[in-house]
Amino acid sequence: MPSSNIQLDDMGRLRHFLGIEGLSQAILTEILDTAESFTSVADRTIKKVPILRGITVANLFFEASTRTRSTFELAEQRLSADILSLNLSTSATVKGESLLDTLQNLEAMQIDMFVIRHQDSGSAHFFAQHVRPGVAVLNAGDGQHEHPTQAMLDMYTIRHYKQDFDALRVAIVGDILHSRVARSQIHALNLLNTGEIRVIAPRTLMPVEAESLGVKVYEDLELGLRDVDVVIMLRLQKERMQGALLPSEKEYFRKFGLSQERLRLAKPDAIVMHPGPANRGVEIESGVMDGKQSVILQQVSFGISVRMAVMSMIASQSGLQSGGES
């Protein structure tokens, strides 16, 4: 029976990568296992494998991002893809061209795979619904919806340091309401049967229906951090303060900033994560960010392997691999 999930082909394999929601534990585990097989590529003299040789990947970043764009480009280079990266903040869409027109013009250039980051939720799904058969779409972040490759590199980081998810307590701290990263993380952690997921935020930055996502809700940081194994800090978007959702940066740090003292409430071997870019002294203290429990820089490195894994899985299962037809 054909799959009703646009991300999957008729055999239930990854066709596009648009979000964690709707995927299975088996697919997430396959991504993590495949990423692990790619970690050694970085240690080679020639950091390349021929999996995407002859395949053209277009990076369409309508919204700025240093880490996500750079790690996608490095992943594509290591897979031997031909790469087209466009600065779309000054593109034809700004001049009035529709998203569909942009897609059709790029497809005329024989693109095989699109990596898209866009400020509007649902934009990656829109692309996936309109591309030609055989063309793949990867979501690099869409509005307040999802950021699936960030979530998967976070899952890889957690598994690397903690092995099993079952007994873990994971705390996600910050702007839960507006964070596409948090949404994807929560979906992934639930799929991987994480022991306990906690979300910690001011009431103004907590979704009303948060508990229905399978998490425990805390408005007190110190209470929420007690005995956790993993602390994931989210970037505080400063425009939230201008919108009267938050007080000053100083006040936010006083109540919800991760200091060394507060980190001691977590387990002694707890790891600290952050998707970046981090605001030092706002959501996280420099001593914590640079401390021995921080794995923030390791997350960036793991992101290359995870993005290689997703692209290679899609390519191998859709006939794109190594010179396959588009």
Residue 272 pairs with which residues in a beta bridge? 231, 294
Interatomic CA distance for residues 110 and 326, integer angstroms: 8
Tokens of 212: 């229905």
DSSP state of 83: E
**Greatest pairwise CA separation for the chain in angstroms:** 57
Give the residue-averaged pLDDT of 234-247: 66
pLDDT of residue 86: 83
pLDDT of residue 238: 62
Q: How much of the chain, in percent, has pLDDT values that exceed 90? A: 71
DSSP state of 132: P
pLDDT of residue 323: 43
Question: What is the band of 64 on the pLDDT scale with cuts at 50, 70, 90?
Answer: confident
Question: What is the band of 2 on the pLDDT scale with cuts at 50, 70, 90?
Answer: very low
Give the residue-averaged pLDDT of 167-174: 97
- Tell me the CATH class for 148-300: alpha beta
- Measured between its terminal Cα atoms, the distance across the chain in Å is 24
pLDDT of residue 106: 87
Query: Same topology for domains 25-146+303-318 and 148-300, yes or no?
Result: yes
Domain ranges of the chain: 25-146+303-318, 148-300
Residue 123 has pLDDT above 60, yes or no: yes
Question: What is the band of 209 on the pLDDT scale with cuts at 50, 70, 90?
Answer: confident
Residue 3 has pLDDT above 60, yes or no: no
Lowest mean pLDDT among 87-101, 154-168, 202-216, 227-241: 87-101
pLDDT of residue 59: 95
DSSP for 118-130, written as a single string: ESSTTHHHHHHHH
Whether 234 and 173 have beta carbons less than 8 Å apart is answered as yes
**Among candidates 232, 238, 234, 200, which has minimal Cα distance to 219?**
200
For residue 271, report the phi and psi dihedrals to the nearest 5 degrees.
Answer: -105, 150
What CATH number has the domain spanning 25-146+303-318? 3.40.50.1370
Give the residue-averaged pLDDT of 208-219: 94
pLDDT tens per residue across span 262-313: 999 999 999 999 998 898 998 999 999 999 999 999 999 999 999 999 999 9
Q: How much of the chain, in percent, has pLDDT values that exceed 70? A: 90
pLDDT of residue 248: 78
pLDDT of residue 105: 87
Residue 157 has pLDDT above 90, yes or no: yes
